[in-house]
Structure 1
Amino acid sequence: MDNEDAPDCADATHERPDEPWVMAREYEIGGLHWFSNASREMARALHPLLAQVTREELGEGPPPPDEGTALPAEASSLYRPMEVQHVWTVSIEDVVDFNVDQFLTDLHALSDSMGAQMVRGMLEHISAVTEEYGNTVDATGRDFADAFADSLERMDISFDADDRPNVTIVMHPDQVEKLRENPPTPEQEARIDAILARRREEWIASRRRRDLP
Protein backbone atom coordinates (compact mmCIF):
# COMPACT_ATOMS: atom_id res chain seq x y z
CA MET A 1 0.00 0.00 0.00
CA ASP A 2 1.53 3.29 -1.09
CA ASN A 3 1.89 6.29 1.21
CA GLU A 4 2.38 9.74 -0.33
CA ASP A 5 4.26 10.98 2.80
CA ALA A 6 6.79 8.12 2.73
CA PRO A 7 10.30 8.82 1.33
CA ASP A 8 11.01 7.77 -2.19
CA CYS A 9 12.70 4.48 -1.31
CA ALA A 10 13.11 3.50 -4.92
CA ASP A 11 15.16 6.61 -5.72
CA ALA A 12 17.27 6.24 -2.56
CA THR A 13 18.04 2.63 -3.42
CA HIS A 14 18.89 3.59 -6.97
CA GLU A 15 21.52 6.11 -5.77
CA ARG A 16 23.41 3.54 -3.71
CA PRO A 17 26.32 1.79 -5.45
CA ASP A 18 25.80 -1.84 -6.35
CA GLU A 19 29.04 -2.78 -4.55
CA PRO A 20 30.64 -1.32 -1.41
CA TRP A 21 33.39 1.23 -2.10
CA VAL A 22 36.83 0.03 -1.10
CA MET A 23 40.30 1.55 -1.39
CA ALA A 24 42.88 -0.59 -3.11
CA ARG A 25 45.85 -1.57 -0.95
CA GLU A 26 48.17 0.06 -3.50
CA TYR A 27 46.45 3.41 -2.94
CA GLU A 28 46.83 3.09 0.81
CA ILE A 29 50.53 2.25 0.53
CA GLY A 30 51.11 5.10 -1.91
CA GLY A 31 49.27 7.56 0.31
CA LEU A 32 51.25 6.57 3.41
CA HIS A 33 54.50 6.78 1.44
CA TRP A 34 53.65 10.28 0.21
CA PHE A 35 52.55 11.42 3.67
CA SER A 36 55.73 10.12 5.30
CA ASN A 37 58.01 11.73 2.73
CA ALA A 38 56.09 15.03 2.72
CA SER A 39 56.09 15.41 6.51
CA ARG A 40 59.76 14.42 6.78
CA GLU A 41 60.97 16.80 4.06
CA MET A 42 58.81 19.64 5.39
CA ALA A 43 60.25 19.11 8.89
CA ARG A 44 63.77 19.32 7.47
CA ALA A 45 62.88 22.48 5.55
CA LEU A 46 61.41 24.11 8.67
CA HIS A 47 64.37 23.11 10.86
CA PRO A 48 67.70 23.63 9.01
CA LEU A 49 69.70 21.92 11.76
CA LEU A 50 67.70 18.75 11.19
CA ALA A 51 68.34 19.01 7.45
CA GLN A 52 72.11 18.86 8.08
CA VAL A 53 71.85 15.45 9.72
CA THR A 54 72.35 12.52 7.38
CA ARG A 55 69.84 9.69 7.52
CA GLU A 56 70.43 5.94 7.47
CA GLU A 57 67.47 3.60 7.05
CA LEU A 58 67.63 0.18 8.67
CA GLY A 59 65.87 -2.80 7.22
CA GLU A 60 65.56 -4.22 10.70
CA GLY A 61 66.13 -2.74 14.12
CA PRO A 62 65.65 -3.57 17.77
CA PRO A 63 62.05 -3.38 18.97
CA PRO A 64 61.26 -0.12 20.76
CA PRO A 65 61.33 -0.51 24.54
CA ASP A 66 58.22 0.07 26.58
CA GLU A 67 57.85 3.57 27.97
CA GLY A 68 59.74 3.94 31.23
CA THR A 69 61.75 0.74 30.70
CA ALA A 70 65.47 1.11 31.40
CA LEU A 71 67.87 0.08 28.65
CA PRO A 72 70.13 -2.95 29.25
CA ALA A 73 73.46 -2.20 30.91
CA GLU A 74 75.33 -3.37 27.81
CA ALA A 75 73.42 -0.99 25.51
CA SER A 76 75.59 1.65 23.87
CA SER A 77 74.91 5.22 24.91
CA LEU A 78 75.24 6.17 21.25
CA TYR A 79 71.86 4.56 20.57
CA ARG A 80 68.84 5.93 22.34
CA PRO A 81 65.19 5.82 21.29
CA MET A 82 63.54 9.19 20.85
CA GLU A 83 59.86 9.67 21.61
CA VAL A 84 58.09 12.02 19.20
CA GLN A 85 54.35 12.59 19.32
CA HIS A 86 51.74 14.90 17.84
CA VAL A 87 47.96 15.05 18.12
CA TRP A 88 46.13 15.59 14.82
CA THR A 89 42.40 16.24 15.08
CA VAL A 90 40.41 15.72 11.87
CA SER A 91 37.02 17.33 11.29
CA ILE A 92 34.42 15.22 9.52
CA GLU A 93 33.27 18.33 7.68
CA ASP A 94 36.77 18.90 6.30
CA VAL A 95 36.89 15.32 5.05
CA VAL A 96 33.48 15.52 3.41
CA ASP A 97 34.26 18.91 1.85
CA PHE A 98 37.70 17.67 0.72
CA ASN A 99 39.28 20.69 2.42
CA VAL A 100 42.81 20.51 1.03
CA ASP A 101 43.85 23.84 2.57
CA GLN A 102 43.04 22.60 6.06
CA PHE A 103 44.87 19.33 5.41
CA LEU A 104 48.01 21.19 4.31
CA THR A 105 47.76 23.48 7.35
CA ASP A 106 47.57 20.45 9.63
CA LEU A 107 50.45 18.79 7.77
CA HIS A 108 52.57 21.91 8.31
CA ALA A 109 51.76 21.89 12.04
CA LEU A 110 52.66 18.19 12.27
CA SER A 111 55.97 18.67 10.46
CA ASP A 112 56.94 21.68 12.56
CA SER A 113 56.06 19.94 15.81
CA MET A 114 57.89 16.71 14.97
CA GLY A 115 60.91 18.55 13.60
CA ALA A 116 61.23 20.66 16.75
CA GLN A 117 60.97 17.56 18.96
CA MET A 118 63.61 15.73 16.93
CA VAL A 119 66.05 18.66 17.10
CA ARG A 120 65.51 19.01 20.85
CA GLY A 121 65.93 15.26 21.37
CA MET A 122 69.05 15.19 19.20
CA LEU A 123 70.71 18.00 21.18
CA GLU A 124 69.76 16.37 24.49
CA HIS A 125 71.27 13.10 23.27
CA ILE A 126 74.51 14.83 22.22
CA SER A 127 74.71 16.55 25.60
CA ALA A 128 74.19 13.27 27.46
CA VAL A 129 76.86 11.43 25.45
CA THR A 130 79.44 14.21 25.78
CA GLU A 131 78.81 14.37 29.52
CA GLU A 132 79.25 10.61 29.79
CA TYR A 133 82.57 10.66 27.93
CA GLY A 134 83.85 13.80 29.68
CA ASN A 135 84.06 15.71 26.41
CA THR A 136 82.57 18.96 27.69
CA VAL A 137 83.82 22.46 28.43
CA ASP A 138 82.22 24.59 31.14
CA ALA A 139 81.61 28.02 29.60
CA THR A 140 79.81 29.49 32.61
CA GLY A 141 80.89 33.11 33.04
CA ARG A 142 83.59 32.77 30.37
CA ASP A 143 84.14 34.57 27.10
CA PHE A 144 82.67 32.55 24.24
CA ALA A 145 85.80 32.67 22.07
CA ASP A 146 87.99 31.26 24.86
CA ALA A 147 85.50 28.48 25.61
CA PHE A 148 85.18 27.71 21.89
CA ALA A 149 88.96 27.46 21.52
CA ASP A 150 89.11 25.04 24.46
CA SER A 151 86.36 22.92 22.90
CA LEU A 152 88.31 22.70 19.62
CA GLU A 153 91.16 21.13 21.60
CA ARG A 154 88.90 18.38 22.95
CA MET A 155 86.49 17.43 20.18
CA ASP A 156 87.07 15.16 17.19
CA ILE A 157 87.26 17.30 14.05
CA SER A 158 87.21 16.24 10.42
CA PHE A 159 87.79 18.45 7.39
CA ASP A 160 86.19 18.65 3.97
CA ALA A 161 87.86 18.61 0.55
CA ASP A 162 88.63 22.34 0.90
CA ASP A 163 90.29 21.82 4.30
CA ARG A 164 87.43 23.49 6.12
CA PRO A 165 86.48 22.04 9.52
CA ASN A 166 83.22 20.13 9.73
CA VAL A 167 82.03 21.93 12.84
CA THR A 168 78.47 23.08 13.53
CA ILE A 169 77.74 25.61 16.26
CA VAL A 170 74.23 25.68 17.71
CA MET A 171 73.37 28.82 19.67
CA HIS A 172 70.41 30.47 21.27
CA PRO A 173 69.45 33.67 19.38
CA ASP A 174 70.28 35.74 22.48
CA GLN A 175 73.79 34.29 22.53
CA VAL A 176 74.23 35.07 18.83
CA GLU A 177 73.34 38.70 19.49
CA LYS A 178 75.85 38.87 22.36
CA LEU A 179 78.54 37.43 20.08
CA ARG A 180 77.83 40.12 17.49
CA GLU A 181 78.22 42.78 20.16
CA ASN A 182 81.41 41.20 21.54
CA PRO A 183 83.34 39.58 18.65
CA PRO A 184 86.60 37.67 19.24
CA THR A 185 89.73 39.73 19.69
CA PRO A 186 92.61 39.39 17.19
CA GLU A 187 94.50 37.32 19.77
CA GLN A 188 91.54 34.96 20.21
CA GLU A 189 91.11 34.60 16.45
CA ALA A 190 94.82 33.82 16.10
CA ARG A 191 94.57 31.12 18.78
CA ILE A 192 91.53 29.54 17.11
CA ASP A 193 93.26 29.57 13.70
CA ALA A 194 96.39 27.98 15.19
CA ILE A 195 94.36 25.22 16.85
CA LEU A 196 92.47 24.48 13.63
CA ALA A 197 95.71 24.39 11.62
CA ARG A 198 97.23 21.89 14.06
CA ARG A 199 94.10 19.76 14.17
CA ARG A 200 94.00 19.77 10.36
CA GLU A 201 97.55 18.40 10.20
CA GLU A 202 96.67 15.75 12.79
CA TRP A 203 93.61 14.75 10.78
CA ILE A 204 95.60 14.50 7.54
CA ALA A 205 98.25 12.39 9.29
CA SER A 206 95.61 10.03 10.67
CA ARG A 207 94.19 9.53 7.17
CA ARG A 208 97.64 8.71 5.82
CA ARG A 209 98.07 6.02 8.46
CA ARG A 210 94.75 4.44 7.48
CA ASP A 211 95.88 4.28 3.86
CA LEU A 212 98.99 2.25 4.74
CA PRO A 213 98.81 -1.49 3.92
Structure 2
Amino acid sequence: MESEDAADSADSADAPPERPDEPWVMPREYEIGGVRWLSDASREMARALHPLLAQVTREELAEGPPPRIEDAAVPAEVSSLYRPMVVQHVWTVSIEDVTEFNVDQFLTDLHGLADSMGGQMVRGMLDHISAVSEEYGNTVDATGQDFVDAFAESLETMDLSFDKDGRPNLTIVMHPGTLEKLRENPPTSEQEARIDAILSRRREEWLASRRRRDLP
Protein backbone atom coordinates (compact mmCIF):
# COMPACT_ATOMS: atom_id res chain seq x y z
CA MET A 1 0.00 0.00 0.00
CA GLU A 2 2.79 2.34 0.89
CA SER A 3 4.53 1.76 -2.47
CA GLU A 4 1.27 2.37 -4.36
CA ASP A 5 0.66 5.62 -2.45
CA ALA A 6 4.20 6.74 -3.25
CA ALA A 7 3.69 5.98 -6.94
CA ASP A 8 0.42 7.92 -6.96
CA SER A 9 2.18 10.85 -5.30
CA ALA A 10 4.97 10.74 -7.92
CA ASP A 11 2.46 10.65 -10.75
CA SER A 12 0.62 13.61 -9.23
CA ALA A 13 3.87 15.54 -8.94
CA ASP A 14 4.76 14.91 -12.59
CA ALA A 15 1.32 15.77 -13.96
CA PRO A 16 0.78 19.39 -15.07
CA PRO A 17 -1.32 21.37 -12.63
CA GLU A 18 -4.96 21.81 -13.48
CA ARG A 19 -5.86 25.34 -14.65
CA PRO A 20 -9.64 25.56 -14.55
CA ASP A 21 -9.51 29.33 -14.98
CA GLU A 22 -7.40 29.19 -18.15
CA PRO A 23 -8.96 31.61 -20.70
CA TRP A 24 -10.05 30.31 -24.07
CA VAL A 25 -7.05 30.29 -26.40
CA MET A 26 -7.19 30.58 -30.19
CA PRO A 27 -4.31 29.81 -32.57
CA ARG A 28 -2.65 32.95 -33.90
CA GLU A 29 -3.34 32.04 -37.52
CA TYR A 30 -7.07 31.79 -36.71
CA GLU A 31 -6.98 35.22 -35.14
CA ILE A 32 -5.22 36.73 -38.16
CA GLY A 33 -7.66 35.10 -40.57
CA GLY A 34 -10.65 36.16 -38.48
CA VAL A 35 -9.56 39.78 -38.30
CA ARG A 36 -8.88 39.85 -42.04
CA TRP A 37 -12.25 38.30 -42.82
CA LEU A 38 -14.08 40.75 -40.55
CA SER A 39 -12.25 43.69 -42.12
CA ASP A 40 -12.96 42.57 -45.68
CA ALA A 41 -16.58 41.63 -44.96
CA SER A 42 -17.41 44.91 -43.20
CA ARG A 43 -15.69 46.96 -45.94
CA GLU A 44 -17.50 45.22 -48.81
CA MET A 45 -20.81 45.38 -46.96
CA ALA A 46 -20.30 49.11 -46.32
CA ARG A 47 -19.66 49.67 -50.02
CA ALA A 48 -22.82 47.72 -50.87
CA LEU A 49 -24.90 49.74 -48.39
CA HIS A 50 -23.47 53.08 -49.53
CA PRO A 51 -23.19 53.24 -53.35
CA LEU A 52 -21.28 56.54 -53.24
CA LEU A 53 -18.56 54.85 -51.21
CA ALA A 54 -18.42 52.02 -53.75
CA GLN A 55 -17.48 54.51 -56.48
CA VAL A 56 -14.29 55.49 -54.65
CA THR A 57 -11.23 53.56 -55.72
CA ARG A 58 -8.95 52.16 -53.03
CA GLU A 59 -5.17 52.21 -52.89
CA GLU A 60 -3.16 49.95 -50.60
CA LEU A 61 -0.39 51.72 -48.71
CA ALA A 62 2.68 49.89 -47.49
CA GLU A 63 3.12 52.52 -44.83
CA GLY A 64 0.64 55.18 -43.79
CA PRO A 65 1.06 58.34 -41.71
CA PRO A 66 1.21 57.92 -37.93
CA PRO A 67 -2.08 58.32 -36.04
CA ARG A 68 -2.84 61.96 -35.37
CA ILE A 69 -3.27 63.04 -31.77
CA GLU A 70 -6.65 64.66 -31.20
CA ASP A 71 -6.55 68.49 -31.33
CA ALA A 72 -2.89 68.39 -32.38
CA ALA A 73 -1.75 70.79 -35.09
CA VAL A 74 -1.32 69.40 -38.60
CA PRO A 75 2.40 69.21 -39.51
CA ALA A 76 3.59 72.03 -41.77
CA GLU A 77 4.82 69.62 -44.45
CA VAL A 78 1.38 68.05 -44.89
CA SER A 79 -0.53 68.97 -48.06
CA SER A 80 -3.18 71.64 -47.66
CA LEU A 81 -5.62 69.10 -49.09
CA TYR A 82 -5.08 66.79 -46.10
CA ARG A 83 -8.10 66.36 -43.89
CA PRO A 84 -8.12 63.87 -40.99
CA MET A 85 -11.26 61.75 -40.67
CA VAL A 86 -12.31 60.06 -37.44
CA VAL A 87 -14.46 56.95 -37.92
CA GLN A 88 -15.58 54.89 -34.94
CA HIS A 89 -18.21 52.36 -33.94
CA VAL A 90 -19.00 50.69 -30.62
CA TRP A 91 -19.79 46.97 -30.88
CA THR A 92 -21.05 45.38 -27.67
CA VAL A 93 -20.94 41.58 -27.61
CA SER A 94 -23.02 39.48 -25.24
CA ILE A 95 -21.17 36.53 -23.74
CA GLU A 96 -24.33 34.46 -24.14
CA ASP A 97 -24.35 35.08 -27.88
CA VAL A 98 -20.73 33.91 -28.05
CA THR A 99 -21.21 30.73 -26.04
CA GLU A 100 -24.40 29.88 -27.92
CA PHE A 101 -22.83 30.64 -31.33
CA ASN A 102 -25.63 33.07 -32.17
CA VAL A 103 -24.73 33.63 -35.82
CA ASP A 104 -27.86 35.68 -36.56
CA GLN A 105 -26.95 38.21 -33.89
CA PHE A 106 -23.36 38.35 -35.15
CA LEU A 107 -24.52 39.09 -38.71
CA THR A 108 -26.92 41.74 -37.41
CA ASP A 109 -24.09 43.40 -35.51
CA LEU A 110 -21.83 43.16 -38.56
CA HIS A 111 -24.49 44.88 -40.66
CA GLY A 112 -24.73 47.65 -38.06
CA LEU A 113 -20.95 48.05 -38.08
CA ALA A 114 -20.77 48.27 -41.89
CA ASP A 115 -23.67 50.72 -42.12
CA SER A 116 -22.26 52.95 -39.37
CA MET A 117 -18.70 52.99 -40.70
CA GLY A 118 -19.80 53.45 -44.31
CA GLY A 119 -22.12 56.32 -43.44
CA GLN A 120 -19.39 58.08 -41.46
CA MET A 121 -16.92 57.68 -44.31
CA VAL A 122 -19.37 59.11 -46.86
CA ARG A 123 -20.13 62.11 -44.61
CA GLY A 124 -16.41 62.58 -44.01
CA MET A 125 -15.65 62.54 -47.74
CA LEU A 126 -18.40 65.07 -48.50
CA ASP A 127 -17.20 67.33 -45.68
CA HIS A 128 -13.67 67.02 -47.09
CA ILE A 129 -14.82 67.96 -50.59
CA SER A 130 -16.84 70.90 -49.24
CA ALA A 131 -13.93 72.20 -47.16
CA VAL A 132 -11.40 71.96 -50.01
CA SER A 133 -13.83 73.49 -52.52
CA GLU A 134 -14.54 76.37 -50.16
CA GLU A 135 -10.83 76.94 -49.53
CA TYR A 136 -10.00 77.08 -53.24
CA GLY A 137 -13.04 79.13 -54.25
CA ASN A 138 -14.72 76.34 -56.21
CA THR A 139 -18.19 76.85 -54.77
CA VAL A 140 -21.36 78.36 -56.19
CA ASP A 141 -23.77 80.22 -53.92
CA ALA A 142 -27.20 78.88 -54.85
CA THR A 143 -29.07 81.09 -52.39
CA GLY A 144 -32.22 82.34 -54.06
CA GLN A 145 -31.46 80.44 -57.28
CA ASP A 146 -33.25 77.62 -58.96
CA PHE A 147 -31.29 74.40 -58.44
CA VAL A 148 -30.94 73.68 -62.16
CA ASP A 149 -29.62 77.20 -62.86
CA ALA A 150 -27.10 76.83 -60.01
CA PHE A 151 -26.06 73.43 -61.37
CA ALA A 152 -25.53 74.89 -64.85
CA GLU A 153 -23.39 77.64 -63.32
CA SER A 154 -21.29 75.08 -61.47
CA LEU A 155 -20.65 73.17 -64.71
CA GLU A 156 -18.86 76.28 -65.97
CA THR A 157 -16.36 76.27 -63.12
CA MET A 158 -15.59 72.64 -62.20
CA ASP A 159 -12.99 70.42 -63.82
CA LEU A 160 -14.71 67.88 -66.04
CA SER A 161 -13.56 64.76 -67.84
CA PHE A 162 -15.54 62.56 -70.21
CA ASP A 163 -15.70 58.84 -70.95
CA LYS A 164 -15.16 57.20 -74.35
CA ASP A 165 -18.81 57.81 -75.24
CA GLY A 166 -18.56 61.53 -74.50
CA ARG A 167 -20.51 61.39 -71.26
CA PRO A 168 -19.24 63.49 -68.33
CA ASN A 169 -17.62 61.64 -65.44
CA LEU A 170 -19.88 63.35 -62.96
CA THR A 171 -21.62 62.25 -59.78
CA ILE A 172 -24.36 64.43 -58.30
CA VAL A 173 -25.02 64.16 -54.57
CA MET A 174 -28.00 66.04 -53.18
CA HIS A 175 -30.21 66.15 -50.13
CA PRO A 176 -33.34 63.97 -50.40
CA GLY A 177 -35.47 67.09 -49.92
CA THR A 178 -33.78 68.78 -52.87
CA LEU A 179 -34.26 65.67 -54.98
CA GLU A 180 -37.97 65.64 -54.17
CA LYS A 181 -38.30 69.31 -55.15
CA LEU A 182 -36.48 68.59 -58.41
CA ARG A 183 -38.91 65.79 -59.18
CA GLU A 184 -41.82 68.12 -58.56
CA ASN A 185 -40.26 70.88 -60.69
CA PRO A 186 -38.19 69.24 -63.45
CA PRO A 187 -35.88 71.35 -65.66
CA THR A 188 -37.50 73.39 -68.39
CA SER A 189 -36.60 72.84 -72.03
CA GLU A 190 -34.55 76.06 -71.92
CA GLN A 191 -32.60 74.88 -68.88
CA GLU A 192 -31.92 71.48 -70.48
CA ALA A 193 -30.71 73.19 -73.64
CA ARG A 194 -28.38 75.43 -71.60
CA ILE A 195 -26.89 72.42 -69.78
CA ASP A 196 -26.44 70.49 -73.04
CA ALA A 197 -24.68 73.47 -74.62
CA ILE A 198 -22.32 73.84 -71.63
CA LEU A 199 -21.47 70.13 -71.62
CA SER A 200 -20.90 70.14 -75.38
CA ARG A 201 -18.49 73.08 -75.11
CA ARG A 202 -16.69 71.61 -72.10
CA ARG A 203 -16.35 68.29 -73.95
CA GLU A 204 -14.69 70.00 -76.90
CA GLU A 205 -12.35 71.85 -74.52
CA TRP A 206 -11.45 68.59 -72.81
CA LEU A 207 -10.79 66.80 -76.10
CA ALA A 208 -8.65 69.71 -77.29
CA SER A 209 -6.56 69.58 -74.12
CA ARG A 210 -5.99 65.85 -74.61
CA ARG A 211 -4.91 66.35 -78.22
CA ARG A 212 -2.35 68.92 -77.11
CA ARG A 213 -0.90 66.49 -74.59
CA ASP A 214 -0.49 63.86 -77.34
CA LEU A 215 1.75 66.15 -79.41
CA PRO A 216 5.49 65.32 -79.32
TM-score (norm 1): 0.88
CA–CA distance in structure 1, aligned partners of residues 194 and 23 of structure 2: 74
Give 1:74 deviation, angstroms.
Answer: 3.7
Show the counterpart of 2:176.
173
Where in structure 1 are there 5+ consecutive unaligned residues?
1-14
Which of 68, 88, 92 is equivalent to 1:85? 88
Which of 152, 155, 159 is equivalent to 1:152? 155
Q: Is the 8 A contact 1:42 1:111 kept in 2?
A: yes
1:59 match: secondary structure: coil
Determine if the alignment matches structure 1 residue 197 to structure 2 residue 214. Answer: no
For residues 21-40 of structure 1, what are the alpha-carbon distances to aligned partners after superposition, in whole Å with 9 as ceiling and x for unaligned?
A: 64222211111111000000
Show the counterpart of 1:106.
109
- Structure ID, larger Rg: 2
Which of 47, 57, 64 is equivalent to 1:44? 47
Show the counterpart of 1:3.
none
CA–CA distance in structure 1, aligned partners of residues 101 and 60 of structure 2: 34
User: Sequence identity of aligned pairs in percent?
Assistant: 83
Q: Runs of 4 or more off by more than 3 Å in structure 1?
A: 19-22
For residues 163-185 of structure 1, what are the alpha-carbon distances to aligned partners after superposition, in whole Å with 9 as ceiling and x for unaligned?
A: 10011110111111100111111
Which of 118, 135, 145 is equivalent to 2:121? 118
Determine if the alignment matches structure 1 residue 27 to structure 2 residue 25. Answer: no
CA–CA distance in structure 2, aligned partners of residues 43 and 181 of structure 1: 31
TM-score (norm 2): 0.87
How many corresponding residue pairs? 199
CA–CA distance in structure 2, aligned partners of residues 115 and 73 of structure 1: 30
Determine if the alignment matches structure 1 residue 188 to structure 2 residue 191. Answer: yes
CA–CA distance in structure 1, aligned partners of residues 23 and 131 of structure 2: 54
CA–CA distance in structure 1, aligned partners of residues 77 and 19 of structure 2: 61
Q: Is the 8 A contact 1:47 1:115 kept in 2?
A: yes
1:85 match: secondary structure: coil
CA–CA distance in structure 2, aligned partners of residues 86 and 194 of structure 1: 46
2:63 partner letter: E
1:190 match: secondary structure: helix
1:129 match: secondary structure: helix
- In angstroms, what is the RMSD of aligned CA positions? 2.0
Where in structure 2 are there 5+ consecutive unaligned residues?
1-17
Q: Is the 8 A contact 1:139 1:147 kept in 2?
A: yes
Give 1:16 deviation, angstroms.
Answer: 8.7
1:83 to 1:97, Cα distance in 2 relative to 1, 3 A:
same
Q: Is the 8 A contact 1:64 1:81 kept in 2?
A: no
Moved more, 118-127 or 203-212: 203-212
1:163 partner letter: G
